[in-house]
Amino acid sequence: MKKRLGIISLFIILFIAFIAVWNFSYQIGKEEAYIPFERSTEVSSIIPSEKGVFERSEHALDYANMPVDENHQRSLKHYYDNRAYHGAPPSIPHPIKDEMTIGANTCLKCHENGGFTEKFNAYAPVVPHPELVNCRQCHVPTNASGVFRPFEHRSVVAPKAGINNALAGSPPIIPHQIQMHENCLSCHAGPSAPKEIRVTHPERINCRQCHVPNNKEMTDIGTFKRAISNE
């Protein structure tokens, strides 16, 4: 009898211990699962990276001396139409030969330096970030028309060309953000550049000498304010 009571109480102790341990680890687990997300209260930095600022500048004189092929010019509308919204990665508007290959072997052959493609009767746009070769991570083809279910999407208003000068005749500011496309010449020079935004002076490769970002898309930072003032 004593022995049986001992065994039962041992099991009871084990059972209580189990519940306690389980409870404890459950609570710990719950805490661990919650990783607080620290939101920075400071204004995010709006100074763009200098990365790639002089890339493709070795082609600047070629760009300057290249004649304009008026029959095969892209327009800014065409440029924007190929994107879900302004700033989104463009989709692939042409059929793709091989679904298995990525980047360097295929896409970059045409898109690293551009050039005329007989088959599509167009100049291939130049990629501003050729170092990222997993192209189809972001760029997908359009294989169907229409939508799965109707949706509402308010698109970002895309900047317009020709209205970005602070003074009459002053160099236009950069009206878009430049992350992933810090290299100006890839979109603004050469035969694939949309005609409205093709630079007339690609040989001036130090673009940000005259054109500075003014990124209303991110934050409007207002005018300069003095922190301390006696007035």
Cβ at position 195, least distance to another protein in Å: 14
CA 92 to CA 105: how far, in whole Å?
16
39 binds another protein (CB under 8 A): no
> Under rule CB under 8 A, which residues in 172-201 are in contact with another protein?
173, 200-201
73 binds another protein (CB under 8 A): no
Q: Which stretch binds another protein (CB under 8 A): 36-44, 79-87, 136-144, 145-153?
A: 36-44
Dmax (CA) for the chain in angstroms is 106
Cβ at position 205, least distance to another protein in Å: 6
SS3 226: coil
Q: What φ, ψ does residue 4 adopt, rounded to 5°? A: -65, -45
Give the dihedral of Cα atoms 89, 91, 97, 99; nearest 10 deg.
60
121 binds another protein (CB under 8 A): no
Q: Which is nearer to another protein, 146 or 162 (CB)?
A: 162
Interface pick for another protein out of 3, 29, 36, 71 (rule CB under 8 A) = 71
Give the residue ranges of DSSP H helices in the chain: 2-33, 60-65, 76-81, 107-111, 185-188
Pairing of strands 115-117, 122-124: antiparallel
Which of these, 74, 183, 98, 94, lies nearest to 139 by C-alpha position? 94
37 binds another protein (CB under 8 A): no
231 binds another protein (CB under 8 A): yes
213 binds another protein (CB under 8 A): yes
Q: How many residues in the chain?
A: 231
214 binds another protein (CB under 8 A): yes
**Contact set with another protein (CB under 8 A):** 40, 42-51, 53-54, 57-58, 60-61, 64-71, 165-171, 173, 200-201, 203-206, 208-215, 221, 223-224, 226-231
